Amino acid sequence: MSTERKVAVVTGASQGIGAGLVHGFLDKGYKVVANSRSIAPAASADLLTVAGDIADPAVAERVIAEAVANFGRVDTLVNNAGMFIAKPFTEYTAGDFATKISLNLAGFFYVSQAAIRQMLAQGGGHVVNMTTTLVGQPVKGVPSALASLTKGGLDAVTRSLAIEYADKGIRVNAVAPGVIATPMHKPEALSLLAGLHPVGRLGTVQEVVEAVLYLDSAAFVTGETLHVDGGAHAGRW
């Protein structure tokens, strides 16, 4: 077991931005622990996969415990697991509410607690929360109340934790993407979605990965929400 190389933990890691983050950290020489409900077994000595629902406290504890047992430490946690449900506010169901609270908030809470305990023990680390640009700049026609309620909480707690742990060597930042080009979007919707950004296009997974990697290397940056949204957060257009 080596403790020389940095170790990153990525949740929601089986596809899209999460899978891109796994590859991005591996390409930077990190060892990576990747989690999602149905993630496939790892095929690399530098990659460990831990399947399970990150909103389950036992799974969250296991993810961090496996990182320490196999790689010796946790340097970076990226809280990428999450979901978006676009409905008019009065049409959300109790099930929608429970699901969003579970994944977007509990999925952050338990694994972040476990990771920060480990970071305190080893003398430092970095947490990155994935939010959304809609938290600060809602868009007419894109109903996002539950996203604002849950991801808005992550945006706020980013600054709270950054202050709480700044003198302990632990940084906490967030990335707020706009609409990112992934297979989840129907081809016929791409033109409309591109128009939600002042630059007139969708973002790419690689652009989000680069933002996370920048924050991970920026030792004097904490409490920051970095928007990767083609200017959408800047105001109405």
For the stretch 174-185, pLDDT in tens is 999 998 888 677
Q: Report the CATH number at residue 28.
A: 3.40.50.720
CB-based contact 64:9 (threshold 8 Å) = yes
Q: Which two tokens stand for residue 83?
A: 């979901």
Structural domains of the chain, count: 1
Model-level pTM greater than 0.85?
yes
Confirm whether 86 is domain-assigned: yes
Confirm whether 59 is domain-assigned: yes
CB-based contact 118:137 (threshold 8 Å) = no
Confirm whether 78 is domain-assigned: yes
Confirm whether 69 is domain-assigned: yes
Across the range 206-235, mean pLDDT stands at 96
Question: Which residue range forms the structural domain that includes residue 173?
Answer: 7-228
pLDDT (tens digit per residue) in 82-105: 888 889 999 999 999 999 999 999
Confirm whether 141 is domain-assigned: yes
Instruction: Compare 68 and 191 and report the one with higher pLDDT.
Output: 68
pLDDT (tens digit per residue) in 50-80: 999 999 999 999 999 999 999 999 999 999 9
Is the pLDDT assigned to residue 3 strictly greater than 70?
A: no
How far CA 10 is from CA of 22, 134, 168, 200, in Å, comes to 7, 23, 22, 30
| Beta-carbon count within 10 A of 27 CB | 10
**Mean pLDDT score of the chain:** 93
At 1 the pLDDT is 40
Confirm whether 237 is domain-assigned: no
CB-based contact 74:60 (threshold 8 Å) = no
Confirm whether 72 is domain-assigned: yes
* Bridge partners for 9 per DSSP: 33, 77
Q: Please state which of the ranges 6-10, 14-18, 68-72 shows the lowest mean pLDDT.
A: 14-18
- Express the helix, strand and coil content of the chain in percent, nearest 5 each: 45, 20, 35
Between CA 52 and CA 84 the distance in angstroms is: 20
Beta strands across the sheet bearing 31-36: 47-51, 31-36, 7-11, 76-79, 125-130, 170-177, 225-228
Confirm whether 217 is domain-assigned: yes
